């Protein structure tokens, strides 16, 4: 440890002066050009499976080709098909709850939001027992199993959002306030399905979920897009959903249980799930349609170890046409995520025009359907074009920081993988620092495409330019970021602007370039740390 610190210090001293004037390897003009092009109104906000998709993926593959990449798929193909299905549940449904001498209905949208991911015309659960499973977590590496000794087959499980570390703030429970994968709602449904439950309903709480009930409503009612899974979603629970905190109180009191007390005990070690002696019934019809979207994949084959891969990824899709604001109904997605696509293309150019070819192959992927729930990356993860155990790692870019030159970089979900010290080495060598993310409890690491790769074991880095802007007043960067989130994020006004700082973004990407360049030229295999939720998957995949 000591030698590491000393040598790192020498590195800092010898490179700081040089780093300040160093011209970026990554060309900021490419980032600008790509954003200006694909965030223009001609691309209609890049909605997947629309004519705008054809235009977008054609542009990206032409750029890949122009910058010297080879098509990533067999037969000289640039596009990986991503079959999708859209399931729309009939909103004329309710959750009927019955206990001894008590019966009531919970209304759709106001009290509960339910759906299915199974491709079935009709969904129905008849008088299934409800079981409170606390946080619904089975995590061997944390010695935690909420399902221990409880058979939930055919039953409806009621689950808390987030994890016990968040609830207690105890740094020794899971990752403390930092959300783990076990805290994500997606995990809750997956685990409930593995346990054989018929239904899984999460109790909403604004703080723990990091968003209000209105967001649960708007993102889960109406048409829900999913990938068209080989098993037609039949390995999922029949009914997934959310209920309000008030609905939970109502159900628990019908079962003569104190919800607040049970919720408290759920975050203590040794918690045992509780059958509620209450039955739930629900029935609804589904409208099902299918379509196809595409990931765009290019590669620079390596020299001596071409069958090993390093990835750069960014999603190309955005929201397409959206509710109009001041007469503008195109969500252009300039920052989110034309900028990330610009980053992938600029990195491709930097590698292709580098002096020396890399030993391992470098792969560049523009992913689809991120905005629909990380679906393009999930499809890739379950239908990998390059073998996952041969994929060394990768970096995902979702919304580049183009506010201005920052003294710092931010790593999201820090403390997970051995990619982080490699990245930190280059950050420090550039005379910069790494800042912690603002809201580790919000689980941002699980909210973009790198997570789909992590889930199948591939170590991924999620980092971005920091907010400590050189030459600006102290809160300037954070203020700009907050303004973007409040006024432009997922709005028609996320548009191209010449004031965006493409050159600073390129400097940030230089650090990503260096990490990829190092890993494309070594024999090492950085892994997840032992405590990371993806370590066991990776170890099994490498075996
Ligand atoms: Zn995005």
Are 313 and 459 contained in the same domain? yes
Centroid of ligand 1 to alpha carbon of 319 (angstroms): 10
CATH number at residue 174: 3.50.30.30
Residue 514 included in any domain: yes
The pLDDT value recorded for residue 220 is 86
Which of 18, 38, 19 has the alpha carbon at shortest distance from 343?
38
pLDDT score of 22:
62
Domain of residue 444, CATH code: 3.40.630.10
Which of 254, 289, 324 is a domain's end point? 289
Helix (H) / strand (E) element for 502: namely helix 502-519
Asked if residue 82 is part of any domain, the answer here is no
Q: Do both 392 and 257 map to the same domain?
A: no
Same domain assignment for residues 18 and 98: no
Q: What is the pLDDT of residue 503?
A: 97
Domain boundary among 289, 322, 357: 289
Q: What is the radius of gyration, based on Cα positions, of the chain?
A: 24
Cα of 390 from ligand 1 centre, angstroms: 27
Answer with the one of 236, 267, 289 that is the final residue of a domain. 289
How many Å lie between the centroid of ligand 1 and the Cα of residue 5?
Answer: 36
DSSP for 181-247 reads: GGGSHHHHHHHHHHTT-SEEEEEP-HHHHTS-HHHHHHHHSSEEEEE--TTTTTTS-SEEEEE-HHH
Same domain, 49 and 183: no
Residue where the block lists tokens 């005990």: 265
For residue 359, how far is its CA from the centre of ligand 1 (angstroms)? 31
Please tell me whether residues 327 and 370 are part of one structural domain: yes
How far is ligand 1, taken at its centre, from the CA of residue 292, in Å?
Answer: 20
Q: Are residue 21 and residue 109 in the same domain, yes or no?
A: no
Range of the domain at 38: 10-71+301-542
- Unique residue bearing structure tokens 């990195």: 347
pLDDT of residue 12: 41
Domain identity same for 194 and 326: no
Say yes or no: 427 and 523 in one domain: yes
- The Å distance, Cα 155 to ligand 1 centre, comes to 36
Let me know whether 207 and 311 are in one domain. Answer: no
CA of 34 to the centre of ligand 1 (A): 16
CA of 412 to the centre of ligand 1 (A): 14
List pLDDT tens digits, range 281-327.
999 999 999 999 999 999 999 999 999 999 999 999 999 998 889 99
Query: How far, in Å, is the centroid of ligand 1 from the Cα of 259?
Result: 37
CA distance linking residue 323 with residue 159, whole number of Å: 33
Cα 320 to middle of ligand 1, angstroms: 13
Q: How many domains does the chain have?
A: 2
Query: Is 81 a member of any domain?
Result: no
Cα of 495 vs centre of ligand 1, distance in Å, is 14
Intervals of the chain under pLDDT 70: 1-22
Asked whether residue 27 is domain-assigned, the answer is yes
Instruction: Read off the pTM.
Output: 0.86
**In-domain check, residue 1:** no
Q: Are residues 265 and 124 in the same domain?
A: yes
Q: What 3 state SS string does 48-60 have?
A: CCCHHHHHHHHHH
User: Ligand 1 centre from 191 Cα, in Å?
Assistant: 26
374, 337: one domain: yes
Distance 340 CA to ligand 1 centre (A): 8
What's the CA-to-centroid distance between 481 and ligand 1, angstroms? 15
Report every protein residue that has its C-beta within 5 angstroms of ion ligand 1.
Answer: 336-337, 398
User: In sequence order, what are the beta bridge partners of 98?
Assistant: 103, 279
Question: Do 61 and 128 have their domain in common?
Answer: no
| Pairing mode, strands 122-132 and 274-300 | antiparallel
């Amino acid at each position: 440890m000591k030698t590491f610190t000393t040598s790192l210090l020498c590195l800092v001293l010898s490179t700081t002066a040089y780093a300040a004037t160093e011209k970026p390897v990554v060309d900021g003009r490419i980032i600008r050009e790509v954003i200006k092009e694909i965030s223009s109104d001609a691309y209609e906000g890049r909605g997947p499976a629309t004519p705008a998709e054809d235009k977008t993926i054609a542009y990206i593959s032409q750029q890949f080709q122009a910058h010297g990449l080879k098509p990533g798929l067999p037969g000289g193909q640039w596009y990986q098909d991503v079959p999708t299905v859209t399931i729309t549940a009939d909103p004329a449904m309710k959750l009927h709850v019955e206990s001894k001498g008590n019966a009531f209905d919970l209304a759709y949208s106001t009290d509960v939001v339910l759906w299915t991911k199974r491709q079935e015309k009709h969904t129905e659960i008849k008088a299934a027992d409800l079981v409170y499973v606390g946080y619904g977590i089975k995590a061997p590496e944390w010695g935690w199993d909420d399902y221990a000794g409880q058979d939930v087959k055919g039953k409806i499980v009621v689950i808390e959002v987030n994890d016990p570390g968040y609830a207690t703030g105890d740094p020794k429970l899971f990752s403390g306030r930092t959300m783990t994968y076990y805290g994500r709602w997606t995990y809750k449904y997956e685990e409930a399905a593995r346990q054989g439950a018929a239904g899984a309903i999460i109790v909403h709480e604004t703080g723990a979920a990091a968003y209000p009930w209105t967001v649960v409503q708007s993102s889960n009612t109406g048409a829900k897009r999913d990938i068209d899974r080989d098993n037609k979603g039949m390995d999922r629970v029949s009914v997934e959903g959310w209920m309000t905190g008030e609905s939970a109180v109502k159900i628990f009191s019908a079962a003569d249980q104190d919800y607040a007390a049970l919720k408290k005990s759920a975050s203590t070690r040794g918690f045992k799930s509780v059958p509620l002696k209450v039955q739930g019934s629900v029935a609804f019809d589904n409208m099902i349609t299918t379509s196809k979207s595409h990931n765009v994949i290019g590669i620079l084959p390596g020299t001596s170890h071409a069958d090993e891969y390093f990835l750069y990824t960014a999603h190309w899709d955005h929201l397409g046409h959206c509710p109009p604001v001041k007469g503008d109904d195109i969500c252009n997605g300039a920052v989110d995520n034309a900028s990330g696509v610009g980053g992938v293309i600029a990195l491709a150019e930097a590698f292709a025009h580098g002096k020396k070819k890399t030993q391992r192959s470098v792969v560049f992927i523009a992913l689809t359907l991120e905005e629909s729930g990380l679906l393009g990356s999930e499809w890739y993860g379950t239908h990998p074009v390059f073998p996952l155990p041969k994929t060394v790692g990768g970096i995902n870019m979702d919304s580049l920081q183009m506010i201005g030159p920052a003294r710092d970089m931010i790593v999201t979900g820090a403390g997970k993988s051995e990619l982080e010290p490699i990245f930190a080495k280059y950050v420090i060598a550039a005379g910069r620092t790494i800042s912690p993310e603002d809201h580790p409890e919000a689980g941002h690491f699980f909210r973009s495409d790198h997570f789909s790769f992590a889930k199948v074991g591939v170590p991924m880095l999620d980092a971005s330019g920091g907010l400590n802007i050189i030459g600006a007043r102290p809160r300037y960067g954070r203020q700009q970021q907050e303004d973007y989130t409040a006024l432009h994020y997922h709005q028609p006004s996320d548009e191209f602007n010449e004031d965006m700082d493409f050159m600073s973004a390129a400097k940030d990407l230089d650090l990503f370039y260096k990490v990829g360049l190092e890993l494309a030229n070594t024999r090492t295999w950085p892994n997840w740390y032992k405590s990371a939720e993806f370590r066991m998957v990776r170890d099994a995949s490498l075996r």
